[in-house]
Amino acid sequence: MSIADHNLVNDGLDSYWMPFTANRKFKADPRFIVSARGMYYTDSEGNQVLDGSAGLWCVNAGHYRPQINEAIRAQLEELDFAHSFNAGHPHAFNFANRLVRHFPDPLNHVFFTNSGSESVDTALKIALAYHKARGDGSRQRLIGREKGYHGMGFGGVSVGGLVKNRSTFGMLLPGTDHIRHTLDIERNAFSAGLPVHGAELADDLLRLVDLHGADNIAAVIVEPVAGAAGVILPPQGYLQRLREICTEHGILLIFDEVITGFGRLGASCAAQRFGVVPDIMTTAKGITNATVPMGAVFVTEEIYQTFMAVETPGVELNHGYTYSGHPLACAAGMATLDIYESEGLLDRGSELDELWINEAMKLRDLPGVIDIRCHALIGAIELRPRAGEPMQRGVEVGKRCYELGLWARNIGDIIVLSPPLIISEAEIKQIFSVIAQAISDIPE
């Protein structure tokens, strides 16, 4: 099949209902990606485009890693599948043992899922079940944060705070509430690194404690760095304050690290980078470098031991998925960890942080740039919406970037960046010079 061949799909595009896509628009003018290597995709017209998003924040070690491919192949030859319900295969145990060494104590136990959304629902359920197991079953409220994204399961949408994801799906879960978001462009625009203002916004949780009573609140879930809302960095001291309030009131703190886990912030996870350890942490995406779907929920020693101490014999948590700990995912995950370890990728964002921020900040005086938010290897450039046409400028700048050889996602008028962690210094400069060119080319 030639990559220049436009007729890659037989019998039209209609059968496939594409996720999170303007199907009619895409199908009227489709664009196919046909291969990927390292930092680059190749599309069906033979264009090479630099992957500015590591897929969807997930291909952290870059595309096409023979070591991972080989591990998956070898695993298929040995054991294609075995379930984990009252049964076991060694790979899930081995992978869990290796994973926990990368994350802060006491997050020493892992529950496997198949996606970020499943990790979030699992975390919320563990929180509810934990309180019940301790005889504290009135703690049932789940608190999220405005502008939060926690996947598309009913639990995740209910604690999520993005109106477009919530407004279509009825009443969602009862008993959820939200603290205020921390995006404050007026006070924090162009902060290089974590914003200075806004730690006090963590106290908004106290408002909900006053409203509902702490003894009715099970958990609060936040992304340490919000991604899908257009990269919102935590104000300095904010996460520490949230931790204090949760501890003081017996509320479990859940960090949704589905995008921040596995090196995005220059450490294994945000908890490590920011020195704030949650009670439960959700991950997915980079865990297998996106080759085989997988997620993992980490819980503290205390939470795990609470379940192991319940008096009733039998299953301690009636929850799990057919593919929890799938052997292929475990094999892919182990090979991915080998690469992260041998190439030092989990820390690489810290080394590149200064260059990343400096290059990004060069765009601050371009027309209509109203904020730049950057940290380690995550970033966002927010554009002033065009009068009467919100989001249009972002779409056009994103399209222009693609023409110039960079696939940079736009979320509305925000250009978001999360390249593979193998990115070179020259490629970082290239990313920002392409975006600068695109912003200059597209009218305000």
Q: How many residues bind ligand PLP (CB under 6 A)?
A: 15
The Cα 378–Cα 373 span in angstroms is 8
When the beta carbons of 227 and 327 are compared against ligand PLP, the nearer one is 227
Does residue 230 bind ligand PLP (CB under 6 A)?
no
**Contact between 418 and ligand PLP per CB under 6 A:** no
* Identity of the residue, 157 or 214, whose beta carbon is nearer to ligand PLP in the bound complex: 157
Identify whether the C-beta of residue 272 lies closer than 8 Å to the C-beta of residue 103: yes
Q: How many CB atoms lie within 10 A of CB 221?
A: 27
Closer residue to ligand PLP, CB minimum distance, 264 or 400:
264
Of 55, 144, 227, 420, the one binding ligand PLP (CB under 6 A) is: 227
Residue 259 interacts with ligand PLP (CB under 6 A): yes or no? yes
Nearest CA among 175, 172, 171, 169 for reference residue 128: 175
Applying CB under 6 A, which of residues 38, 52, 116, 412 lies at the interface with ligand PLP?
Answer: 116
Binding mask 314-333 for ligand PLP (x = CB under 6 A): --------------------
Instruction: Give φ, ψ of 297 to 5 degrees.
Output: -110, 125
Q: Return the range that interacts with ligand PLP (CB under 6 A); candidates 175-183, 221-229, 325-333, 370-378.
A: 221-229
Q: Which token pair is 391?
A: 């989001």
| Strands 414-417 and 409-411, sheet pairing | antiparallel
State yes or no: residue 165 binds ligand PLP (CB under 6 A): no
Element (H, E) at 378: strand 378-383
Residue span binding ligand PLP (CB under 6 A) among the ranges 80-88, 239-247, 252-260, 386-394? 252-260
Rg of the chain in Å (alpha carbons): 22
Taking the complex as a whole, how short is the minimal distance between the CB of residue 154 and ligand PLP, in angstroms? Answer: 13
Q: How far is the CB of 332 from ligand PLP (least distance, A)?
A: 15
Q: Shortest CA distance to 280 belongs to which of 124, 132, 57?
A: 124
Residue 228 binds ligand PLP, judged by CB under 6 A: yes
- Rounded CA-CA distance 336/207 in Å is 42
Query: Can residue 149 be called a binding residue for ligand PLP (CB under 6 A)?
Result: yes
Report the DSSP pairing between strands 40-43 and 33-37.
Answer: antiparallel
CB of 343 to ligand PLP, least distance (A): 24
Rounded least distance, CB 228 to ligand PLP, Å: 5
Contacts of 73 (CB under 8 A, 6+ apart): none
Indicate which single residue of 256, 279, 413, 427 sits in contact with ligand PLP (rule: CB under 6 A). 256
Which one of 71, 258, 277, 415 is in contact with ligand PLP (CB under 6 A)?
258
Q: Is 220 in the site for ligand PLP (CB under 6 A)?
A: no
Q: Which residues pair with 43 in a beta bridge?
A: 33
Residue number with the smallest Cβ distance to ligand PLP? 116
Q: Does 106 sit behind a cis peptide bond, omega within 30 degrees of 0 on the bond before it?
A: yes
For 254, the enclosing helix (H) or strand (E) is strand 252-256
Decide: residue 180, CB within 10 A, 0-12 exposed, 13-18 middle, 19+ buried.
middle
Shortest spacing between CB 167 and ligand PLP, in angstroms: 18
- Which residues in the 54-113 window bind ligand PLP by CB under 6 A? 56
Note whether 394 binds ligand PLP by CB under 6 A: no
| Piece of 126-134, 148-156, 161-169, 405-413 that binds ligand PLP (CB under 6 A) | 148-156
Cβ-Cβ contacts under 8 Å for 331 (sequence gap 6 or more): 71, 72, 74, 75, 91
What is the per-residue burial (b if ≥16 Cβ within 10 Å, else e) of 250-281? ebbbbbbbbbbbbbbbbbbbbbbbbebbbbbb
User: Is 151 near ligand PLP (CB under 6 A)?
Assistant: yes
From the CB of 278, what's the least distance to ligand PLP, in Å?
13
Task: Identify which range of 80-88, 222-230, 263-271, 381-389 contacts ligand PLP by CB under 6 A.
Answer: 222-230
Q: Cβ closer to ligand PLP: 117 or 188?
A: 117
- 131: its two tokens: 């309180």
Q: What residues make contact with ligand PLP under the rule CB under 6 A?
A: 56, 115-117, 120, 149-151, 223, 227-228, 256, 258-259, 284
